[in-house]
Structure 1
Amino acid sequence: MNIQSKYVGEIDIEERDIFSFEKGLPAFESETQFVLLPFGQDQVFQILQSVKSPEVAFVVASPFSFFQDYQVKLPESLQEQLMIKKEEDVAIFTILTLKEPFKDTSANLQAPVILNVKEQKGKQLLLNDSPYDRKHRIFPKELAEEGQR
């Protein structure tokens, strides 16, 4: 099936690659179907693209690519909702806020996107009382400052 995407124009996707978000994403409740698309040649960054609305697309990345000590405990209710049975069926992404210059880009570590890659189900998990920020820089401040010299 062909869909329009925000970053790569028209693209052909397989129905089996569509993730179902039962209640959409916060502020995008009517967007219930998304697909993961590559973002350029880099495998670190991907696009979580709405199947229905081309303008609804989020650049995402695994938080573990930038924060090795990042931890998320999935509530039992979420595991049941997404039909998660095994840890290896889970993929966790964080939505990025792209900045110019790119070294100032941040990640929303308070609200990771949880995907069951086996059942093609997803949900954005809001972590209450979290030690993480909504706008956590993905590159160390020293690296950003170094780039300004």
Structure 2
Amino acid sequence: MKLNTKNFGEIEINEGDIIYFPEGLPAFEAINKFVLLGNMEEDTPFCWLQSVERGELAFVVVDPRAVKPDYEADVSDDDIKLLEIEGDSRVLIYSIVVIPEDISKMTANLQAPILINTRNNKAKQVVLQNSRYSIRHFIAEETGGGK
């Protein structure tokens, strides 16, 4: 399937790689289909969550454990049920990254991670019940880039 994107031009995606957000993302509730772009084997922990429905919409995402190694997502039973997470499910966790003009002030939203059940490609951005994480966690603080 061909997809026209703002950041990557025209790309070919496999329909089986489409991630479905039943509830969309906050502020983008009507947009339900995304794909992850970027080589997960490269040295960078970052990749793109690209909308299939709107080529101009894409988010930089990162595994929050790359930013905060002791990161834990305490997910509600309702979210587990919505995503159909079971004992054999493999769940990917990503945080949306904001990259300002001054890259040393780059932040990750650790309070509201995106969970992806790889067994059925269902996903949701969840708001964690605990308050130990910030929606604007400075990445440079953890990686030593801000020192």
After TM superposition, the score normalised by the length of structure 2 is 0.90
Equivalence for 2:55:
54
Matched to 2:48, the amino acid is I
Rounded to whole Å, the distance in 2 between the matches of 1:114 and 1:87 is 15
Rounded to whole Å, the distance in 1 between the matches of 2:48 and 2:100 is 16
Matched length: 146
Judge which range, 49-58 or 69-78, deviates more. 69-78
Matches within 5 A, 1:72-87: 72-86=73-87
Measured after TM superposition, the shift of residue 101 of structure 1 is 2.8
Matched to 1:67, the amino acid is K
Matched to 1:90, the amino acid is V
SS at match of 2:27: coil
Rounded to whole Å, the distance in 1 between the matches of 2:129 and 2:73 is 11
Matched to 1:28, the amino acid is F
Judge which range, 78-87 or 88-97, deviates more. 78-87
Change (3 A) 1:103 1:33: same
Structure 1 residue 15 corresponds to structure 2 residue 15? yes
Equivalence for 2:134:
133
Measured after TM superposition, the shift of residue 42 of structure 1 is 4.4
Measured after TM superposition, the shift of residue 103 of structure 1 is 2.2
Residue identity over aligned pairs, in percent, reads 38
Structure 1 residue 97 corresponds to structure 2 residue 98? yes
Rounded to whole Å, the distance in 2 between the matches of 1:118 and 1:141 is 31
Equivalence for 2:5:
5
In the alignment, structure 2 segments of 5+ residues that lack a partner are none
Residues 5 and 55, structure 1, Cα contact 8 Å, conserved in 2: yes
Judge which range, 34-43 or 98-107, deviates more. 34-43
SS at match of 1:140: helix
Rounded to whole Å, the distance in 1 between the matches of 2:143 and 2:86 is 41
In the alignment, structure 1 segments of 5+ residues that lack a partner are none
Residues 68 and 142, structure 2, Cα contact 8 Å, conserved in 1: no
Equivalence for 2:36:
36
Measured after TM superposition, the shift of residue 55 of structure 1 is 1.5
Matched to 1:72, the amino acid is A
What is the CA RMSD across the aligned residues, in angstroms? 2.1
Change (3 A) 1:61 1:104: same
